[in-house]
Amino acid sequence: MPLLVLKRLAGALPNIFGIVLITFLLTRALPGDPAAFFAGPAGTQEAVEQVREKLGLNRTLPEQFWLYLKQLARGDLGQALSTGQPVREELIARLPASLELVLASLLFAVAVAIPLGIAAARHPTSWIDHACRLVTTAGVSLPTFFTGLLLAYVFYFLLGWAPSPIGRLDPYLTAPATVTGFYTIDSLLAGDGRLFVASAKQMLLPVLTLGIFVLAPIARMTRASMIAVLSADFIRTARASGLSTTTVLVRYALRNALLPVVTTMGMVFSFLLGMSVIVEKVFAWPGAGSFALEALVASDYAPVQGFVLAMAMLYTLLNLVIDLLYVVIDPRVRVSS
């Protein structure tokens, strides 16, 4: 197992280098001049040139890339010109907010999609199967920004059931002491139930927005995989042996159907990382995605590059976790090196 982890991490290095290179080139190809932006509308040409020299933008692209690689080797992601803070500190402060949102959305999607897919597979062409198809079609058809605005309009503006979509916590409450960076977990560690409820309520609408989008592919894959497994000979043998329905479904059918479902979960996690940028802006969520989007508008290269690199690292770790889950779910599976 440790050898597998090392091989996977070593194999990911060329991919990460490619992502760093492509991100670097794309940020330089974007329209706009960061030097002119930060010099201000009243800045003279001389002031713009001074800012450009200070930022190193007067160098050739190979020189800029080499300097950027040397910074990365030291663990330096650069300076966020829009906030005046190091990008690494900004990401460390904001990334837990994004991860809390993404992981909670994935947990919600899995909790709904897998039972829904199993029920639809057990009763094909029934009302449950049609309901599953309706939910999955709506999930993949509705844009996340539309779903978020619709949920905020209905549950906050019309019904008043949800708190105002203004961030992670009500402005009148104080954030818990940082342990994990997840407000729900940190409030429980602090023994503050009121703060936990308040932070969970703030997460409700953005989690629903992201969860509705990603539960569709998980439910569809669960349904398709379960239908294929339930028609297998070993399932008929298990039923003929007098095993209970629950044992047949969970111990035999679901475990054999999980591999493609886990693969789909890895794919939708990457979708969640991308969609969280839009959802964070809709709900004023102070995460890493909204920080990168604001930096992109300001032509601030370093935060965008740091954000993409952080997402690439997260996705690499996720792929490693999926590889390990394959072996845990089915010991017969041997992940090739």
What pLDDT, on the 0 to 100 scale, is given for residue 181?
A: 84
Positive or negative, the Cα torsion across 6, 8, 10, 12?
Answer: negative
What gap in Å lies between CA 218 and CA 210, rounded to an integer? 13
What would the pLDDT profile of 145-183 be if each residue is shown by its tens digit? 888 888 888 888 888 888 888 888 887 888 888 888 888
Residue 37 has pLDDT above 60, yes or no: yes
What pLDDT, on the 0 to 100 scale, is given for residue 108?
A: 92
H/E stretch holding 46: helix 45-55
Give one DSSP letter per residue of 121-169, joined into a string: HHSTTSHHHHHHHHHHHHHHHS-HHHHHHHHIIIIIIIS--SPPSSSSS
What pLDDT, on the 0 to 100 scale, is given for residue 336?
A: 47
CA dihedral of 168, 169, 174, 177, whole degrees rounded to 10 = -40
What would the pLDDT profile of 186-201 be if each residue is shown by its tens digit? 899 888 888 899 888 8
Give one DSSP letter per residue of 202-240, joined into a string: HHHHHHHHHHHHHHHHHHHHHHHHHHHHHTSHHHHHHHH
What pLDDT, on the 0 to 100 scale, is given for residue 332?
A: 63
Average pLDDT over residues 56-73: 80
Residue 327 has pLDDT above 80, yes or no: no
What would the pLDDT profile of 98-123 be if each residue is shown by its tens digit? 889 889 998 998 899 888 888 888 88
- Buried-exposed string 134-161: b where 16+ CB fall within 10 A, e elsewhere: ebbeebeebebeebbeebbeebeeeeee
123 in Cβ contact with 226 (< 8 Å): no
CB atoms within 10 A of CB 108: 19
The DSSP bridge pattern shows strands 85-86 and 79-80 to be antiparallel
42 φ, ψ (degrees, to nearest 5): -95, 5
Average pLDDT, the chain: 81
Say if domain 91-287 classifies as CATH 1.10.3720.10: yes
Q: Where are the domains of the chain?
A: 91-287
What pLDDT, on the 0 to 100 scale, is given for residue 42?
A: 63
